[in-house]
Structure 1
Amino acid sequence: MIIYKLYTDELEDVKIAEGFFDGWLNPPDENVHRKILSGSFKSFVAIHEEKKEIIGYINVISDGVLTAYIPFLEVISEYKGQGIGNKLVKMAIEEFKDYYMIDIVCDSDLVHFYEKMGMRKANAMIIRNYDKQSGE
């Protein structure tokens, strides 16, 4: 069974499953991953109850007033296609539904997924420092 929770310090002892940041040249380690979750304004996680491990997450950075930005939505590959990402996005949108804006920058192959969540395509500008992916 998959349970969904707001990430808090109480979940520090719940294992983070292997397989996040798939395809990254310099993926963050578990310590950096936990810093991402705890340092965000809000993070929601999907936990495999029997395995007691985090298998999906979404994090939100916000000013707490008008804006919310979603940097990461990830689900371990073996659990994709089960609605976990869908549920995490819905949780984040519900939490910030009264804000002026909820933004995400995504790859073109994910546009349709986010459109189904009620988002619309827009332009974005980015800088990526791939040598800094590990967070160290």
Structure 2
Amino acid sequence: MRYKNSIDGISSDMLKGFFTDWPNPPNSQTHLKLLKNSSQVVIAVDEDPNQVVGFITAISDGVLSAYIPLLEVLPAYKNQGIGKELINRMLKELENIYMIDLCCDDELVSYYEKFNMTRTNGMILRNYNRQAGGD
């Protein structure tokens, strides 16, 4: 497994199989665009077959705050420590930031607590008609 902090050498063809439980998933081109537009990204690449198998993104002002909107590992690669490695690498990238926030489902709270994250209240607004991204 190779981990990268950039999308150099990553094509949309390498981004198949993500967002499996989304009713309106973004396509591979939109996925590549969201990776490109993120402040930070860490990508896990299986060199054989040269496919992205996991990624984490952060959006940040680079001073005080960062938000981690996405962490995904392909189903066939789950429970191999890839998600843990992606989070650890991202938290290292963001170590000089005051607040690092993310939202997660209740069943994932205990997972993120292992990274010294604390449960808190949050508010969200979702425009599901825009879930696939695009223009």
The TM-score by the shorter chain falls in which range?
over 0.9
Consecutive unaligned residues of structure 2, counting only runs of 5 or more, are none
Give the alignment partner of residue 65 of structure 1, picking from 63, 68, 89: 63
Residue 101 of structure 2 aligns to a residue in which SS?
strand
The answer for the alignment partner of 1:126 in structure 2 is 124
Task: Give matches, 1:78-97, under 5 Å.
Answer: 78-97=76-95
2:14 corresponds, among 13, 16, 20, to 16
Does the 8 Å contact 1:15/1:52 carry over to 2?
no
3-state SS of 2:92 partner? helix
Counterparts of 2:15 and 2:64 in 1: how far apart (Å)?
33
In structure 2, how many angstroms separate the alpha carbons of the residues matched to 1:15 and 1:46? 15
Alpha-carbon deviation of 1:7? 2.0
Q: Percent identity of the aligned residues?
A: 43
Give the aligned partner of residue 28 of structure 1: 26
SS of 2:129 mapped into structure 1: helix
Structure 2 Cα separation of the partners of residues 89 and 78 of structure 1:
19
Tell me how far 1:120 sits from its aligned partner: 0.8
Q: Residue 79 of structure 1: CA displacement? A: 0.5
Aligned partner letter, 2:131 = Q
Give deviations 1:28-66, integer Å, cap 9, x for gaps.
001100011000001110000111010100000000111
Q: Distance in 2 between matches of 1:7 and 1:116?
A: 26
Query: Which one has more relative contact order, counting CA pairs under 8 Å at least 6 apart?
Result: 1
